Amino acid sequence: MEIIDLSEKEEGTYFLCLENWSEEIKEAGPHKENWYRGVKEKGLRVKLARSEDGKICGMIQYLPIEESFVEGKDLYVVYCIWVHGYKQGVGNQQKKGIGKALLAAAEQDVRDLGAKGLAAWGVSVPFFMRASWFRKQGYRKVDNIGMQILLWKPFTSDAVPPVWIRQKKTPPKVPRKVQVSAFRLGWCPAQNLVFERAKRGAAEFGNKVDFQEYDKLKKIISKKARKLKRAIR
């Protein structure tokens, strides 16, 4: 197994989070590809794990924290680390050290780029992106919102811990309608699939449902841009 950088050849597999065998995941639409095209020039880094027979079996993607859903400076944030765990496709490749190798490669990469540390999010339940797994890799908890845990590994003594961006307001209420607020995360096909199904389900109820779509990346970047303008003034 070797760790490689994403190239155009593997983009199709990457956009489907290694599940190019799954017809279901294709329901997620083009959101991940659109997200990738929009952020790759903003510092997005993607590394893949390739098996000895040339198959892609793992991935990690990370961005400068200034372009992320986390507040901080001079850090990178892991958006997702995933090792294929299904019987289909390339088969279950988990518990072989692939995730550790991907994370170590990302850490070295951002060190070389001059970052002062690497942050990651996890959940406190035994599910995808487990916070407990990151702790075993030397990461420390710095913030949480419910079961969403923010962790980091500083590389320098002057690194500043990151914090979650917290909700400041809620959508205005619409009288006599069921309201659904749906975020397009872009980088996660599983969540994009949920978004598409929620949108389709809401449409079946016509004007009884107020379905609001939000592009989370655009909202976060817009918010940070406003803060930067205020700082310049």
Q: Within 13 Å and on the Cβ side, how many CA atoms surround 177? A: 17
What residue spans define the domains of the chain? 2-165
- The pLDDT assigned to 174 comes to 87
SS3 112: helix
How many CB atoms are located within 10 Å of the residue 153 CB?
17
Is pTM beyond 0.75? Reply is yes
Q: Tell me, which fold does domain 2-165 have in CATH?
A: Aminopeptidase (3.40.630)
SS3 164: strand
* Span 111-149, pLDDT tens digits: 999 999 999 999 998 878 999 999 999 999 999 999 999
Q: 231 falls in which pLDDT band (50, 70, 90)?
A: very low
Cα Rg of the chain (Å, integer): 19
